[in-house]
């Protein structure tokens, strides 16, 4: 059994509260190219990805697993062990720490990896709420610590050290990217959402042109975003936006679709896509751009690609890049958090401290690579997100870390 970290629950009155703007930085300054996105192909080309190493990972490789899947855990363990080998570490990994913002995705991924690897470890889930009293709780069963302050990373780390974890060369740390490393949940995640929304609207305009009905799209998107439709959308933005695209193009009517879902006639996205395919064969009027999108969706389903709406993700990448490092240094903290996607300063400080202790850090995210890296044929003039300089914003936890 993996060692349990002693449970705790406390008010965190001694955490720093003053939010500051640190100097601009790029994630690559701290983490290099150790970034792995949804396609499970590391940006650091020394580490083989899913396409070449699926067999070594012990998974089929027929489709790309999602973050909460067991096969994703197998890939993660392989990436960690390979990165540890490549850096020439003298010790094997024995401890696992995960930092994220989603109990469902990051918390489940942590538990899957821990169960498979049998490594000791813990997971931090942050979601800032400055209107509530600072608090944190560590669950003894899951070893997951949840807090409403990102500065509570120090409290979590202190608890790990107190419970005997080494937090050194035998420790692997996985840090989530969206709404954790950048656009921290509860602090700056609205800018991640804003960039994503701009990407969606830009996609709709490029496919439907003047025929795009924004008000209708918003109604459709809001309705289908509800959890009761997860069997249809599979909680996948590519699928959800494509469904709304077909509704906006009047290939399908919303009431008719809801009826099909409620009756059980359509209970997954592939069935919906085949229904649209049949409809396009009968109905005329679908523009060439819409047909191209539909063909890419069908191809994605066939090859097991969970990110088939490439045009959408390209637009999201452009919008995200435009919101990084886009405001002056003199802007106030409050305004900056409303205008720019910023790096979480506490995580940059923690990462520096962890690396000084010899820890291995990988940035692993379910974020599609298409929304994080440029397409050589479409956006070659842009840098990948981890190479873009943007402001770091947060509280200064440096002194607390030094005292641990």
User: Would you say residue 8 has pLDDT above 70?
Assistant: no
Band the pLDDT of 378: cuts 50, 70, 90: confident
CA 62 distance to own-chain centroid: 22
Q: Are residues 120 and 132 in the same domain?
A: yes
Q: Are residues 116 and 22 in the same domain?
A: yes
331 within domain boundaries: no
53 within domain boundaries: yes
pLDDT of residue 207: 95
The structure tokens 């873009």 sit at 388
Residue predicted with more confidence, 19 or 284: 19
Cα gap 64→50, rounded to integer Å: 8
Phi/psi at 147 (5° precision): -145, 155
Residue 276 sits at the vertex; the CA angle it makes with 272 and 278, to the nearest 5 degrees, is: 115
Q: pTM above the 0.85 mark? A: yes
- Specify which residues 175 forms β-bridges with: 99, 363
pLDDT of residue 4: 53
Which residues, at least 6 apart from 197, have a Cβ–Cβ distance to it below 8 Å?
none
Phi/psi at 21 (5° precision): -105, 115
126 within domain boundaries: yes
pLDDT of residue 307: 94
Q: Are residues 266 and 359 in the same domain?
A: no
pLDDT of residue 1: 37
pLDDT digits (tens, 9 = 90+) for 96-116: 999 999 998 999 999 999 999
The structure tokens 């050290």 sit at 161
265 within domain boundaries: yes
231 within domain boundaries: yes
pLDDT digits (tens, 9 = 90+) for 29-83: 999 999 999 999 999 999 999 999 999 999 988 889 999 899 999 999 999 999 9
CA distances from residue 41 to 34, 76, 218, 278, 370 in whole angstroms, order as listed:
10, 11, 34, 34, 12
Structure tokens that stand for 343 in this block? 């790096």
Cα gap 24→389, rounded to integer Å: 6
pLDDT digits (tens, 9 = 90+) for 165-202: 999 999 999 999 999 999 999 999 999 999 999 999 99
pLDDT of residue 285: 65
pLDDT of residue 13: 66
Phi/psi at 15 (5° precision): -80, 150
Residue predicted with more confidence, 292 or 283: 292
pLDDT of residue 11: 52
Neighbours of 142 (CB within 10 A): 19
271 within domain boundaries: yes
Give the count of domains, the chain. 2
389 within domain boundaries: yes
How many angstroms separate the most distant Cα atoms in the chain? 70
Cα gap 358→354, rounded to integer Å: 7
- The one-character DSSP state at 28 is H
Taking a C-beta distance cutoff of 8 angstroms, is the pair 207, 311 a contact? yes
Q: Are residues 181 and 251 in the same domain?
A: no
Taking a C-beta distance cutoff of 8 angstroms, is the pair 14, 28 a contact? no
Average pLDDT, the chain: 94
The structure tokens 């005329």 sit at 284
In the chain, the percentage of residues whose pLDDT exceeds 90 is 88
Q: Are residues 349 and 382 in the same domain?
A: yes
Q: Are residues 132 and 223 in the same domain?
A: no
Q: Are residues 101 and 235 in the same domain?
A: no
Q: Are residues 184 and 35 in the same domain?
A: yes
Burial class (CB in 10 A: 0-12, 13-18, 19+), 144: buried
pLDDT of residue 282: 81
Q: Which of 284-293, 341-350, 359-368 has the lowest mean pLDDT?
A: 284-293
Q: Which of 286, 318, 350 corresponds to the end of one domain?
A: 318
Q: Are residues 42 and 169 in the same domain?
A: yes
Element (H, E) at 391: strand 390-394
pLDDT digits (tens, 9 = 90+) for 287-332: 889 999 999 999 999 998 999 999 999 999 999 999 999 999 999 9
Taking a C-beta distance cutoff of 8 angstroms, is the pair 371, 313 a contact? yes
Cα gap 275→252, rounded to integer Å: 9
Task: Report, as an integer, the average pLDDT of 147-176.
Answer: 96
3-state secondary structure of 10: strand
Q: Are residues 282 and 146 in the same domain?
A: no
Band the pLDDT of 14: cuts 50, 70, 90: confident
Structure tokens that stand for 401 in this block? 């870390």
Q: Are residues 21 and 107 in the same domain?
A: yes
Element (H, E) at 270: helix 269-282
Q: Which of 12-21, 39-48, 213-222 has the lowest mean pLDDT?
A: 12-21
Q: Are residues 168 and 204 in the same domain?
A: no
Cα gap 208→211, rounded to integer Å: 5
Q: Going by DSSP bridges, is the β-strand pair 135-138/8-11 parallel, antiparallel, or unpaired?
A: antiparallel
245 within domain boundaries: yes
User: Would you say residue 148 has pLDDT above 90?
Assistant: yes
Q: Which of 269, 286, 318 corresponds to the end of one domain?
A: 318
Domain range for 206 is: 189-318
Element (H, E) at 175: strand 171-175
- Specify which residues 10 forms β-bridges with: 136
3-state secondary structure of 166: coil
3-state secondary structure of 8: strand
């Amino acid at each position: 059994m993996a060692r349990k970290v002693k449970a705790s629950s406390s008010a965190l009155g001694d955490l720093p509260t003053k939010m500051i703007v640190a100097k601009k930085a790029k994630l690559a300054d701290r983490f290099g190219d150790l970034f792995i996105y949804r396609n499970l192909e590391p940006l650091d080309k020394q580490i083989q990805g899913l396409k070449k190493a699926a067999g070594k990972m012990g998974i089929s490789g027929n489709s790309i697993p999602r973050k909460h899947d067991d096969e994703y855990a197998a890939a993660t363990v392989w990436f960690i062990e390979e990165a540890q080998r490549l850096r020439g570490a003298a010790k094997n990994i024995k401890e696992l720490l995960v930092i994220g913002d989603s109990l469902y995705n990051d918390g489940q991924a942590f538990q899957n990896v821990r169960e498979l690897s049998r490594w000791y470890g813990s997971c931090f889930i942050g979601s800032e709420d400055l209107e509530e009293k600072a608090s944190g709780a560590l669950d003894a069963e899951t070893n997951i610590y949840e807090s409403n302050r990102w500065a509570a990373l120090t409290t979590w780390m202190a608890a790990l050290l107190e419970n005997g974890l080494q937090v050194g060369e035998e420790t692997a740390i996985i840090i989530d990217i969206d709404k954790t490393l950048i656009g921290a949940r509860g602090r700056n995640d609205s800018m991640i959402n804003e960039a994503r929304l701009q990407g969606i609207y830009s996609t709709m305009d490029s496919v439907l042109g003047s025929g795009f009905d924004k008000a209708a799209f918003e109604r459709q998107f809001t309705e289908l975003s509800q959890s009761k439709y997860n069997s249809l959308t599979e909680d996948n933005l590519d699928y959800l936006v494509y469904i709304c695209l077909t509704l906006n193009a009047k290939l399908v009517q919303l009431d008719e679709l809801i009826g099909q879902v409620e009756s059980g006639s359509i209970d997954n996205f592939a069935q919906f896509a085949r229904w649209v395919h049949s409809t396009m064969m009968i109905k005329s009027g679908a523009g060439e751009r819409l047909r191209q999108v539909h063909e890419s969706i069908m191809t994605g389903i066939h090859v097991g690609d969970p990110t088939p709406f490439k045009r959408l993700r390209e637009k999201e990448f452009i919008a995200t890049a435009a919101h990084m490092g886009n405001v002056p240094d003199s802007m106030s903290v409050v305004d900056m958090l409303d205008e720019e996607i910023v790096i979480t300063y506490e995580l940059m400080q923690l990462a520096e401290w962890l690396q000084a202790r010899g820890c291995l850090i990988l940035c692993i995210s379910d974020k599609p690579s298409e929304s994080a890296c440029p397409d050589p044929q479409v956006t070659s003039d842009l840098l990948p997100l981890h190479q873009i300089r943007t402001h770091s914003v947060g509280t200064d936890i440096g002194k607390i870390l030094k005292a641990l």
